[in-house]
Amino acid sequence: MRKVRKAVFPVAGLGTRFLPATKAIPKEMLTVVDRPVIQYVVDEAREAGIEHFIFVTGRNKAVIEDHFDIQFELYDTLAQRGKTDQLDRLRALQPAPGQTSFTRQQEPLGLGHAVWCARELVGDEPFALLLPDMIMHSQESCLKGMVDLYEESGGNVVAVQECDPAEAHKYGIVAKGAEVGGGFEITAMVEKPARGTAPSNLYINGRYILQPEIFAILENQERGAGGEIQLTDAMIRLGETQKMFGFHYRGDTYDCGSPEGFVEANLAFALRRDDLREVVESVMARLAGTSRG
Ligand code: G1P
């Protein structure tokens, strides 16, 4: 059993749903309370034991690289002013030297293509894939639960959750087979099924553990839904020769790729903070009475 040491974060997306906010800054750097979206996802990976963080970026995304670098002047100023709490918090989130890699997806050809761009950095070992639009909250992180399942089952592991059947056409959907350990066998997968044709309401929520053989498949993957090179289509082909397991994640997920999900994430994470809960509750109660007025 080869350990999952590396994680890939595809962060090349244009963020058109957040214009004008994303005209000059990447959508992954929008803040949920006081941390950028990408920080939540990297922290989830670290909590699951990931040791190397691979970012597939694009034009105008350099600030993500800066975010995970040491800010010497800032650290020095905080130290001189005795702001050791803030300094310690920043240091705790800081990847160690050599723990990050960055490559570029030069053209927006789809998620499958973005993942393929990481092939040299991943090499010949299993890897985690985390889509940074989705941020999660639960007792134990989604990826940690997947790693635990993977260490028993091997193969490939895809996290799923239930969605409103009317929303199934927006996602990758899996069909559930026999239960295996903490997961189940995936018997079918489809990317963005036409309305009314989805095999279940279990949608792929943006967390994967994949074997490196996916890269050779992605190399010649034809365009699928939306005219893009789809990861789900490549996983269907990988499933012909390898095991594909579903992990039913039961925590909370916020789709920060949509304005509604982003606002919900801000409220939900603020309400979990001891220093913010009361004020946010009272502001929400006050605004609830006036929002339509
Ligand atoms: C991607 C995947 C899809 C998955 C979704 C989760 O789609 O292709 O299978 O359900 O992420 O957010 P996208 O959101 O990039 O259209």
Please give all residues whose beta carbon lies within 6 A of any atom in ligand 1, as ranges.
Answer: 111, 131, 133-134, 171-172, 191, 203-206, 230-232
**What 3-state class would DSSP assign to 7?**
strand
Counting Cα atoms < 13 Å in the Cβ hemisphere of 68 gives: 25
CA–CA gap between residue 222 and residue 169 (Å, rounded):
20
Q: What is the pTM of this model?
A: 0.95
Q: Give the Å distance between the CA of 126 and the centre of ligand 1.
A: 20
* Number of the ligand 1 atom closest to the C-alpha atom of 191: 9
Mean pLDDT of all residues in 170-190: 95
* Number of the ligand 1 atom closest to the C-alpha atom of 226: 16
Supply the residue whose CA is at minimum distance from atom 3 of ligand 1: 172
Q: Give the Å distance between the CA of 165 and the centre of ligand 1.
A: 16
Q: In this structure, are residues 171 and 257 in contact, taking their beta carbons and an 8 Å threshold?
A: no
Report whether pLDDT(224) > 80: yes
CA–CA gap between residue 100 and residue 51 (Å, rounded):
9
Angle (CA) 250 254 256, round 5°: 155
pLDDT score of 200 = 96
Using pLDDT thresholds of 50, 70 and 90, give the confidence band for residue 254.
very high
Report whether pLDDT(235) > 60: yes
Q: In this structure, are residues 212 and 129 in contact, taking their beta carbons and an 8 Å threshold?
A: no
pLDDT score of 289 = 77
Percent of the chain with pLDDT over 70: 99
Q: Give the Å distance between the CA of 133 and the centre of ligand 1.
A: 9
If you average pLDDT over every residue of the chain, what do you get? 94
Supply the residue whose CA is at minimum distance from atom 13 of ligand 1: 171
Q: Give the Å distance between the CA of 36 and the centre of ligand 1.
A: 20
Ligand 1 pocket check: which of 16, 129, 171 to mutate, most ligand atoms within 8 Å of Cβ? 171
At 80-137, the pLDDT tens digits run: 999 999 999 999 889 999 999 999 999 999 999 999 999 999 999 999 999 999 999 9
Mean pLDDT of all residues in 225-250: 96
Using pLDDT thresholds of 50, 70 and 90, give the confidence band for residue 182.
confident
Using pLDDT thresholds of 50, 70 and 90, give the confidence band for residue 292.
low
Q: Give the Å distance between the CA of 268 and the centre of ligand 1.
A: 22
Q: In this structure, are residues 55 and 9 in contact, taking their beta carbons and an 8 Å threshold?
A: yes
